[in-house]
Amino acid sequence: MPEGDTIFRAARTLHRALAGKTIVRFESVLPHLTRVHDDHPLTGRTVDQVRSAGKHMLMHLSGDLVLHTHMRMNGSWHIYKPGETWQRPRRDMRIVLATADYEAVGFNIPVAEFINDRDLRRHPVLGVRAADSPTAPLENTLGPDLLAPAFDRDDALRRLRARGSEPIGDVLLNQRVMAGIGNVYKSETLFVSGVNPFTRVDALGDSALARIVDTARKLLTVNVTADMAPMTTYVGFRKTTGKDDPNERLWVYGRARQECRRCGAAIQISKAGKDARLTYWCPTCQPS
């Protein structure tokens, strides 16, 4: 399940492989992408930068063009050397962008579009919108990226407090509040923070909200700073417990009815939110 850490690692790897290189081949099964390539060919352009923004990936190309992709549940990017056998079947291919040294292959990517830098600022998800007050400054539609070097903690806390009547578990999944958290980090962050996922935001004090923000940033950061091969986009299971054993890597996520690693109580599971996402928590360590 791609969350902020997965996209960050993939973007970092794609940047290492492609940045500064000239595109020699572009291929896609998505007609709206191939139309752009037919009218304004990608071949001959340079890859300037590949970066992540929460769960979104942005590949900046010369000539004022950006390839924006979102993985949703099943999408992924792979890096191969020319002629190397793909690890996924060709029927899953959606995008191929190749240089002389590497080819980046996007598999099962459900969201992909070309935009220019000007339209990027106007993008309904990635862009900038007017704040509620006409005299207030503009603000990013996407919340502060938890993995950004210049993460704006104060803005994240402000956006959290603005969701006062909503359960904290639902709010953490809202990318307009903070970008990068998915279902795994939602449950893991709240367990480590000792907060029940169904508690309303306005029932939590400033110290609890700050602890949640800091914990989320710490857990995601740990999972992108581990040693990895220079051209690897996937490094195995994420972990939040600090243990390398695959059976002990997470505190609560995916462990329904198993014993809590701290207190021994049975881990609970429930569907919550508009998409009925699964939530895991310990009733003893995270009392309501």
Cβ neighbours of residue 138 under 8 Å, at least 6 residues apart?
128, 129, 130, 131
Is 2 one of the annotated active-site residues of the chain? yes
Is 3 one of the annotated active-site residues of the chain? yes
What is the arithmetic mean of pLDDT over 29-41?
97
Distance, in Å, from the CA atom of 157 to the CA atom of 77, rounded to the nearest integer, reads 32
What is the arithmetic mean of pLDDT over 47-64?
96
**What is 4-122's CATH number?**
3.20.190.10
Confidence of residue 276 (pLDDT cuts 50, 70, 90): confident
pLDDT tens for 1-21 read 689 999 999 999 999 999 999
pLDDT at 288: 84
Of the ranges 62-66, 67-71, 276-280, which one carries the lowest mean pLDDT score? 276-280
Q: Using CB atoms within 10 A of its CB, is residue 134 exposed (0-12), middle (13-18) or buried (19+)?
A: exposed
Contact of 58 with 66, CB cutoff 8 Å: yes
84 phi and psi, to 5 degrees?
Answer: -70, 140
Annotated catalytic residue, options 3, 186, 188, 197: 3
Annotated catalytic residue, options 27, 55, 113, 124: 55
Do 143-281 and 4-122 fall under one CATH topology?
no
Q: Is the pLDDT of residue 191 over 90?
A: yes
pLDDT tens for 128-162 read 766 555 565 667 899 999 999 999 999 999 999 99
Return the CATH architecture of domain 143-281.
Orthogonal Bundle (1.10)
Contact of 88 with 78, CB cutoff 8 Å: yes
Q: Using CB atoms within 10 A of its CB, is residue 189 exposed (0-12), middle (13-18) or buried (19+)?
A: buried
Is 243 one of the annotated active-site residues of the chain? no
pLDDT at 56: 95
- Domains of the chain: which residue ranges? 4-122, 143-281
Residue with tokens 């704006």: 152
